[in-house]
């Protein structure tokens, strides 16, 4: 089927099964699109009849596009939906102000960090050693192995990490608020500028109309002068029995009159 024949029977939006690569009879793993056409069929640069379909960026040859009945198409779509894996629910909700306050309060109340091992009080005893005196945290036995080391790094640095993250969050929010305020300001300035441009355009139109009005008498006088010149020359040609020349001059005058008419219409 060529592009013209396809378009005659299948308008844009036709329900189809499309195969971007191989057809199913040529390859068992052929990919099928249950879709619809989004353009008319046309010839590609190589001369093949092709069409674009929804859900695919490249064109597909008409040999790989099968129009189908609506009930067949709907059944295929439903089968695809049932075969799709269920979307996993979000595991982390957006941070609410209340939740953020709770986290900040816990971080402030906890022993300052980072927490470091202090063997003087036991093999797994941790404390804050950065102050004038030791602040004990307690015994934290993380065990051994890669995961244990990761748990240890997370725990002993959690207090300071949380404070830094909360501080960064506050800074980002402040920047966001400033950006939103700037957007509002720019929108206001844009509205004002558009108003100025509109007023200027209207004034320019008024000035143009006024200039045209003032120039009109002079323009008409010049046109009448040209008309009189043509009329006189035509009359002389007729008197000299130069009927062909007179006719040519009459045609030129009519052409001039049409040009003036178009110019006047364009100016209004």
Q: Is the pLDDT of residue 51 over 70?
A: yes
Verify that 203 and 184 share a domain, yes or no: no
pLDDT in tens, 8-36: 999 999 999 999 988 989 888 889 999 99
Encode 111-123: b = buried (16+ Cβ within 10 Å), e = exposed. Answer: eebbbebbeeeee
Verify that 170 and 221 share a domain, yes or no: no
Number of domains in the chain: 3
- Is 154 among the domain residues? yes
Verify that 184 and 243 share a domain, yes or no: no
Using the 3D structure, point to which of 83, 108, 123 is the last residue of a domain: 83
The domain spanning residue 72 has which CATH number? 2.30.30
Q: Tell me, what's the pLDDT at 172?
A: 94
The lowest-confidence range among 56-60, 87-91, 143-147 is: 87-91
Verify that 124 and 203 share a domain, yes or no: no
Cis, peptide link before residue 114, omega less than 30° from 0: yes
- Is 90 among the domain residues? no
- Is 68 among the domain residues? yes
Six-digit token string for 74: 């709907």
Q: Which three-class secondary structure state does DSSP give residue 156? A: helix
- Is 89 among the domain residues? no
- Is 12 among the domain residues? yes
- 8 Å CB contact between 135 and 111: yes
Using the 3D structure, point to which of 164, 195, 226 is the last residue of a domain: 195
- Is 236 among the domain residues? yes
Verify that 205 and 190 share a domain, yes or no: no
Tokens 């005196």 locate to 133
Tokens 């013209």 locate to 4
Six-digit token string for 54: 């929804």
Average pLDDT over residues 72-92: 79
Q: Which domain holds residue 240?
A: 198-267
Verify that 230 and 157 share a domain, yes or no: no
The lowest-confidence range among 41-50, 82-91, 152-161, 225-234 is: 82-91
pLDDT in tens, 116-155: 998 888 888 999 988 888 888 888 888 778 888 898 899 9
- 8 Å CB contact between 18 and 35: yes
- Is 88 among the domain residues? no
Using the 3D structure, point to which of 169, 195, 221 is the last residue of a domain: 195
- Is 260 among the domain residues? yes
Q: Which three-class secondary structure state does DSSP give residue 187? A: helix
Give CA angle at 67 (63, 73), nearest 5°.
130
């Amino acid at each position: 089927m060529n592009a013209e024949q396809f378009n005659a029977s299948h308008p844009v939006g036709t329900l189809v099964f499309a195969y971007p690569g191989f057809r199913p009879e040529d390859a068992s793993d052929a990919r099928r699109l249950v879709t619809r056409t989004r353009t008319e069929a046309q010839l590609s640069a190589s001369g093949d009849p092709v069409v674009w379909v929804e859900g695919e960026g490249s064109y597909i040859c008409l040999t790989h596009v099968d129009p189908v009945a609506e009930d067949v198409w709907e059944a295929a779509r439903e089968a695809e939906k049932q075969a799709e894996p269920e979307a996993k629910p979000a595991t982390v909700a957006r941070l609410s102000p209340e939740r953020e306050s709770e986290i900040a309060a816990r971080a402030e109340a906890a022993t300052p960090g980072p927490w470091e091992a202090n063997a003087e009080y036991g093999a797994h005893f941790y404390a804050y050693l950065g102050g004038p005196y030791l602040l004990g945290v307690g015994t934290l036995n993380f065990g051994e192995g890669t995961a244990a080391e990761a748990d240890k790094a997370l725990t002993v640095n959690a207090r300071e990490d949380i404070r830094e993250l909360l501080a960064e969050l506050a800074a980002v929010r402040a920047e966001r608020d400033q950006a939103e305020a700037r957007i509002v300001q720019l929108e206001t300035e844009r509205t004002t500028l558009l108003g100025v441009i509109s007023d200027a355009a209207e004034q320019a139109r008024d000035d143009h109309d006024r200039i045209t009005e003032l120039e009109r008498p002079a323009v008409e006088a010049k046109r009448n002068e040209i008309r009189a010149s043509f009329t006189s020359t035509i009359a002389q040609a007729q008197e000299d029995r130069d009927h062909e020349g007179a006719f040519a001059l009459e045609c030129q005058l009519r052409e001039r009159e049409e040009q003036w008419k178009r110019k006047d219409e364009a100016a209004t």
